[in-house]
Amino acid sequence: MRWIIAAMLALAAGGPALADEPPAYRITLGERSGCATPHVEGRARTDDGTIDVTTDDPDTMVVHMTGTTAAMRLLGCTSMASERFQLVQDFEVRCSDPDVREVVLTLESAVVGYVSTARKAGARMKLADATVTPAGWDATSLSIAHAPIEAVGGQARQCNLHQAVTGPPTPLGRYTLVANFVLDATTDGGFHNSRAVADFSPDAELPAAWVAIKDPFQGASKEGFGFFVTITAEAPSDLAVQPSDPSIPPPIVIPSPFPPPLPPSPAVAPSPFGEAPSGAG
């Protein structure tokens, strides 16, 4: 009986039954075209135009765009600074389960920064949008567009915008992300000491002469500034595996101490000669 008790203890010591592992997805980056295009007129500048694409997690791609535009009064001339970012990023989604043919993509985006003006000037985040299109499709499967952010005539606004959208199941394979981001700042050419700044960079630092004494965001933390786009690959809901309840122990199977029963003996056909008479032989 010792082996029976040992088997029962081993089964009782086991944890809850493990659920099947859900399918794992991987995003692989393909060809990329990324450009930051600055333009300045008069007394104006652009700083820190960057586009960064990372895949720190296998099923997630993150895009981070940062930049700053600033303009100051130049007597008799309009000063203007603009910076336009565009990223076209191809990527492929694969699955660890060869029987899985579809994936659900989530497109998430955030815009963090500020626009600030003094006197006759204007600053704005003009455009921040992103689309995802499967290869060979005529229409996009996911899209996000943030509303413009603007400040004029001494106004200032600091913003932290966020949107997220999850698409329907789409085929595994190749996709294309297109993301656009546009900043600009403008001042008139009059006698006023006007200035404008659109700052969406955690690293850019304007020279002291470009920072207004009454700037409401002077010295504020710029951690997390920029335009973010995140794509995450997940299993369709009908493939998602629900975890088992750890509070319910697995059933304990107790081995029988008795050998399995023998199969029944085959039936014996009656003799065609009848029974032998008693005493015969």
Give phi and psi for 244, each to the nearest 5. -70, 155
Are residues 37 and 81 in contact, defined by beta-carbon separation less than 8 angstroms? no
Mark residue 9 as left, alpha or beta (left: phi above 0; alpha: psi -120 to 50; beta: remaining).
alpha
Shortest CA distance to 121 belongs to which of 62, 221, 42, 196?
196
d(CA 189, CA 200) in angstroms, rounded, equals: 25
Q: How many Cα neighbours within 13 Å face the side chain of 198? A: 34
Q: In this structure, how many other beta carbons lie within 10 angstroms of the beta carbon of residue 77?
A: 13
Q: What is the DSSP string of 148-215?
A: PEEEETT-EEEEEEEEEEE---EESEEEEEEEEEEEEEEE-SSSS--EEEEEE-SS----GGGS-TT-
d(CA 163, CA 195) in angstroms, rounded, equals: 31
Q: What is the pLDDT along the chain (281 residues), one digit of tens a residue?
A: 444 444 444 444 444 444 467 789 999 999 999 999 999 999 999 998 999 999 999 999 999 999 999 998 877 788 999 999 999 999 999 999 999 999 999 999 999 999 999 888 999 999 999 999 999 998 888 999 999 999 999 899 999 999 999 999 999 999 999 999 999 999 987 667 788 999 999 998 887 777 765 678 877 889 999 999 999 999 998 654 444 445 545 555 555 555 666 666 555 555 555 555 555 44
* pLDDT at site 278: 52
Are residues 224 and 202 in contact, defined by beta-carbon separation less than 8 angstroms? yes
Token code pair at residue 77:
């001339």
Are residues 40 and 77 in contact, defined by beta-carbon separation less than 8 angstroms? no
d(CA 163, CA 200) in angstroms, rounded, equals: 17
d(CA 228, CA 130) in angstroms, rounded, equals: 10
β-strand pairing of 156-166 with 170-171:
unpaired
Q: Which residues contact 78 (CB under 8 A, 6 or more apart)?
A: 41, 42, 186, 187, 188, 189
d(CA 60, CA 206) in angstroms, rounded, equals: 34
Cα separation values, 188 from 76, 123, 131, Å: 8, 12, 35
Give phi and psi for 115, each to the nearest 5. -125, 135
Are residues 62 and 53 in contact, defined by beta-carbon separation less than 8 angstroms? yes
